[in-house]
Amino acid sequence: MAEINQKIKDKLPHLPTDPGIYIWKNADGEIIYIGKALNLSNRIRSYLVDSIKDPKTTQLVRHIADLDYIITNTEAEAFILEANLIKTHQPRYNIMLKDDKRYPYVKLSLGEPFPRIMVSRELIKDGGKYYGPYTDVRSLRRILRTLEWIFPLRTCSRVIPEDKIRYKKACINYQLGKCPAPCVGYISRDEYLKIVNRFLQFFKGKYQDLLDEFRQEMNTAAENLEFEQAAKLRDHIIALEKIQKRQSVSQEDDRNLDIIGFYMEENHAIAVVLKMINGKILNQENYPLKNIENTDREQILSAFLQIYYAPVEDFPDEILLPFRPAEYDKLNEWLGKRLILPQKGDKVKLLVMAKRNAFNLIEEQKLAHLKKANRTIFPIQELKEKLNLPKLPRKIVCMDISTIQGTDTVSSAVFYENGKPKKKNYRHFIIRSIDSQNDFAAMAETMERFLAEIDKDTELEPDLFIIDGGKGQLGISYQILNQSKYPNIPIISLAKRIEEIYTPQNSEPLILSRSSASLRLITGIRDEAHRFAINFHRSRRSKRTLISELEDIKGIGEQSRFLLLKSFGSVDKIKESSVEELASVKGIGDLTAQRIYDFFHPDTISDS
């Protein structure tokens, strides 16, 4: 059995055999994986055996520190709960939608007397009608600009009762022709709901019905010599016809279909959902996927379907799949037997089209990734050449000292990997070996203590050390490094005046061009080390200033100071407190409370 802590061991004998979901947490209490099970006890114990060979699961088990579970009545309930919790918590080891910021929906608030259009990133069961999600926000904005003109509905948050006019003046949207102003009674509820119904027809893909209605109304308006209204309706017809023409792919089948395209290559995977409504493809949604390493395509597709359909209330008539996903029968039961695996005919052609779109998106994703990698790797390659380093300095550590005239001296060590900060590997130190200003000794202590950190965690071993300073700081740091277990790690220093680079091998500094990518890289790292050190120094100085005021009060020891600051949060709050409030702190008696109060309010002490 894999090594597990006592907290989990204590829970194992009491695990239920019911269906449900299990939640693995790390040592910080963070949820790192959520899964479902027909038998919770068996599934949870399966993680704790030595026979696990999957690298991803092995990595997960290494970080497991605690366990929670939720029992459900059926496996189907567990299925839905798992999908919802994954979307909410986004655990590190679950397959997820990449960049999932909760894609936006168009919402029509049907629960209100005068429904309004809005964009929502949450699906709430409030009687509203939701359309989407839209992975392309620009496309969504374009659609809304067209819709607010063809179907002018309110977008404001005004509360408009059904039978009472509450406002005297319409907003700017009325002047722009984007809203019929029900708030001031310029349109009846019946007429307003007529526009709402047309909006609903649009999203059902019933373009032809809408065109027929608009044409009939246009002709009636023209016969009645209402030429302005007739012209407006003509423009609506033209706009709708343009939208209709854009839906070039159509089928005679008037059912609503979701066509799922999927493509996977190395560690890139993407799912595409083509939304076909009344035989016309109205929207394409693209979902790059993450956390897919060492996972087969059947599991990835299954996880995507759970994430995608978990918040959906109205399923399409059919969901066309390119291949059979893992847990197909459970998925199909949950989705009301809507999953289809076409073998021939027009539906296969639709799947081919969806897959082609997914393939093209993967190619774009790979190209973007390659461009980004080139932007990152070029400065590192240039730095290797300029400094004549034995290998690419992918891992760089930069150290800096912060002090004011030798007081509260601290240091920082920031860690960069592939040109990016890796903040979990940052370290800061309170310098204890000196009691006056001595940057050389402070840097020596910093190097010694960081090397000790490497002894505890080899991931911290860099390919290059950068010291913020000149020859002196470099010399003492190089001496410490040379006497350690890591004498072969290259080291340089960077002097601020004209960004001179010193190396132990050369007495003359190296000066790089101001436009050099490698110089921009190391000065950026140096500036981050400076920022990190200064922030820590300010924090230390502020804390010392707070405590020093309390130290001046006779009879107030370290424990009392700690209790007071913990209770009130700051010295200012202590100053503002009454004797009774001070005495209410556990461990602070009436006499001590009076002494503290008198110290901060000397004018209240009587002459007697």
Sheet holding 105-108, edge to edge: 117-120, 105-108, 129-131
257-364 matches 395-543 in fold: yes
- Which residue's entry shows tokens 């012209």? 231
- Which residue's entry shows tokens 């608030």? 109
Backbone angles phi, psi at 314, to 5 degrees: -105, 105
pLDDT, tens digit (0-9, with 9 covering 90-100), for 444-467: 999 999 999 999 998 999 999 999
Pairing of strands 318-320, 339-340: parallel
Q: How much of the chain, in percent, has pLDDT values that exceed 70? A: 92
Residue 521 CA to residue 568 CA, distance in Å, equals: 44
Q: Which CATH class is domain 6-94?
A: alpha beta
Alpha helices in 287-387 (DSSP H): 297-309, 328-334, 346-387
In the prediction, which pLDDT does 549 show?
A: 67
**Sorting pLDDT into bands at 50, 70 and 90, what band is 52?**
low
Residue 507 CA to residue 234 CA, distance in Å, equals: 82
Domain ranges of the chain: 6-94, 105-204, 257-364, 395-543, 552-604
**What would the CATH number be for the domain defined by 395-543?**
3.30.420.340
Residue 412 forms beta bridges with which residues? Answer: 400, 428
With residue 259 as reference, give the H or E element that holds it.
strand 257-265
pLDDT, tens digit (0-9, with 9 covering 90-100), for 94-105: 877 665 556 688
pLDDT, tens digit (0-9, with 9 covering 90-100), for 521-539: 999 999 999 999 998 888 7
Residue 34 CA to residue 36 CA, distance in Å, equals: 7
Query: CA 270 → CA 24, 33, 364, 559, distances in Å?
Result: 26, 21, 11, 58
Residue 421 forms beta bridges with which residues? Answer: 416
Domain 552-604 listed as CATH 1.20.90.10: no
In the prediction, which pLDDT does 1 show?
A: 45
- Beta-carbon contacts of 593 under 8 Å, excluding residues fewer than 6 positions away, are 579, 580, 582, 583, 585
CB 116 within 8 A of CB 192: no
Q: Is 65 exposed, middle or buried (0-12, 13-18, 19+ CB in 10 A)?
A: middle
Question: Within 13 Å of residue 429, how many CA atoms lie on the same side as its CB?
Answer: 23
Counted residue by residue, the chain has a size of 608
Domain 257-364 listed as CATH 3.30.1360.120: no
Quote the mean pLDDT of the chain: 84
Lowest mean pLDDT among 466-480, 491-505, 549-563: 549-563
Pairing of strands 318-320, 407-417: unpaired
In the prediction, which pLDDT does 51 show?
A: 66
